[in-house]
Amino acid sequence: MSAPPAPRSPAAETTPAPRAEQTSMATASPGVKHAAPTSPLADPAGRSGDSGGAGRPALDWRLRFAALSLIWGFSFLLIKVGTDGYAPFQVTLGRLLSGTAVLGVAMAVKRERLPRTARTWGHLAVAAFFLNALPFSLFAYAELTIPSTLAGICNATSPLWGMALSLVALSEDRPTRRRVAGLGLGFLGVLTVLGAWQGFSGLDFSGTAMALLASLSYPIGWIYVRRTLAGTGSSVLSLTGSQLFLGTVQIALVTPLFTSAPDGFPLWPTLAVVALGALGTGLAVLLQYGLVAEVGPTTAQMVTYFIPVIATAAGVAVLGEQLSWNTPVGALVVLAGAALTQSRPRAAEVPAPLEPAPGRRLRKPS
């Protein structure tokens, strides 16, 4: 992912939860959303073109949850390897092409119909920019100068940005003391990761800023999707596949303006880019919405909290990246803050509607 995801992931807002990517609407993560990288478009259980009568999936949801966590956690390592052989825009283009191909096959198998109205396609183009083209490109450019571990931790700030933005843009998301405390705690964790008490010494400002902007882009996209694409009549798979296609077109138009054709196709960077798209942007979306349909958005979005842990472990173990004490400590603080921003009041805290006793009617106020 970079999924993706996330303030509640896309499916958490209408069921959305997953974005995540986090990434297509649901990738957030890397992206969530989605959450980070995440789409409030339709109930995953009510996909059009689905037979709906199938039994439980053959693979236990816990295994699929673990697979999704690993896929999105390793996405930042794959971005790093990809940029060793290709320009950032080329990495993004290859990622989107591979992801779109996977979802295109899934749509063909399920006989999904594409959205029909120009209005829907216009909204999907905006969503593709904020949830795919922009964050994917920013993360690729960021990892030219910052380690993949830091990029993965920056991605975990998406729920914090999402909570802050939702208080302004979504009237139904009212602040609570716990969520405001989580927001403050999360950004304290960001300062810890960045080593604020050391004057941010040794920190690459441009790369870190791009990674944080990428994380901010996801909740902007989630909020836009929630406001414009709910109730379109199209399935989540159809909307997400169409969104990825539009993101691919956007990057395909921009890439020739900023890069030249690659001199060759080095093996490991090429495999990394293909895996990043096919797994982190294609398969991950299918896994995410399957989890939401089976175990619900609350459980499915918990994948967000595993992504930075796996990204850090992968960067250190595979790429040999250096890790100072403040990075994992700050990451844990960020995750704790993100968890608080996603908390909701218990049902017991909500007063029950007043009902008359059996055989009696409430007297109307005079």
Between 163 and 171, where is the model more confident? 163
330-357 pLDDT, tens digit per residue, is 888 888 888 887 776 654 444 444 444 4
Give the relative orientation of helices 88-110 and 134-142 as an angle to the nearest 10 degrees.
140
Is 9:72 a contact under the CB 8 Å cutoff? no
pLDDT of residue 199: 65
C-alpha dihedral over 147, 148, 153, 156, to 10 degrees?
150
Q: Which of 119, 62, 86 is nearest to 274 (CA)?
A: 86
Whether pLDDT at 244 is above 90: yes
DSSP per residue over 200-214, as a string? TTT--HHHHHHHHHH
CA 336 vs CA 60, 188, 311, 330: distances in Å:
28, 11, 17, 10
Query: For residue 247, which amino acid is it?
Result: G
Between 197 and 152, where is the model more confident? 152
Query: For residue 51, which amino acid is it?
Result: S
pTM of the model: 0.79
User: 184-188, 211-215, 314-318, 344-348: lowest mean pLDDT where?
Assistant: 344-348
Question: DSSP label at 3?
Answer: B
d(C-alpha 91, C-alpha 31), whole Å? 16
Which range, 2-6, 147-151, 178-182, is most confident?
Answer: 147-151
Q: Which of 228, 266, 204 is nearest to 117 (CA)?
A: 228
Structure tokens at 289: 């919405």
Is 287:68 a contact under the CB 8 Å cutoff? yes
Question: DSSP label at 99?
Answer: H
Whether pLDDT at 4 is above 50: no
Between 361 and 260, where is the model more confident? 260
d(C-alpha 7, C-alpha 33), whole Å? 7
